[in-house]
Amino acid sequence: MKSNLTAVALAALVVAGAAATAIPASAAPAKAEPTRCHTADLKAGFATGEDARPEMEQTEKQTQAYVWFTNQSKRTCTLSGFAGVDMIGAQETDGTWSLARSSKKPEELVLEQGDTVDFSITLLPVAKSTPQKEKFVPAKFLVTPPNETEHFTLRWPFGGQILKQDGATHPATYLNPVGR
């Protein structure tokens, strides 16, 4: 009787093993590819740490400000491309300046829940003594994530003035793609 039970148990193991290996890998549920991040999935702000602050008090060279996006959704999503950035000036004559894009190539970034990525804005600060019509005094930035239409309104926290080149073909103030 012991040998009959052993034979039945072995047969059950062989059948169970065959059943487990009989399922093709292609039948396993596929993990969905993440879709792009939407404005509602994200938070945004200026990086304000000591090493992230633009040097607005110097006027000899370009400097960078950094804007971050954090995935606050409960899903993984992707970002790729350039954010839209419109600067709104503090002076009555400033108006709104839509920033040009650099020639850098964007890459697709995958953001898990809580992940943060940034992009840089290259700026050319000018001296306070620069004629009023040649300087732009930033007050707010309207930042639209790549491929979106809704924007974040960010208050400019760094002070200073930028050389006004809103009509230039190759302005010294421009933005880089997300992740660069």
What pLDDT, in 10s, does the model give residues 55-67? Answer: 999 999 999 999 9
pLDDT computed for residue 146 by the predictor: 98
- Contact (CB, 8 A) for 82 and 178: yes
Selection from 125, 150, 133 nearest residue 53 by Cα = 125
pLDDT at 14 over 60: no
Percent of the chain with pLDDT over 70: 83
Instruction: Compute the distance between CA of residue 153 and CA of residue 166 in angstroms, rounded to an integer.
Output: 20
Mean pLDDT of the chain: 87
Higher pLDDT, 140 or 19: 140
Q: How far is CA 11 from the centre of its chain?
A: 57
- Contact (CB, 8 A) for 179 and 146: no
pLDDT computed for residue 8 by the predictor: 43
- Contact (CB, 8 A) for 180 and 103: no
Question: pTM for the complete prediction?
Answer: 0.81
The strand pair at 100-101 and 174-175 is best described as: parallel
pLDDT at 126 over 90: yes
| pLDDT tens profile 141-178 | 999 999 999 999 999 999 999 999 988 989 999 999 99
Selection from 116, 125, 100 nearest residue 37 by Cα = 116
- Pair of tokens at residue 159: 């002070």
Instruction: Compute the distance between CA of residue 1 and CA of residue 76 in angstroms, rounded to an integer.
Output: 57
Instruction: Compute the distance between CA of residue 54 and CA of residue 75 in angstroms, rounded to an integer.
Output: 33
- Pair of tokens at residue 38: 């939407």
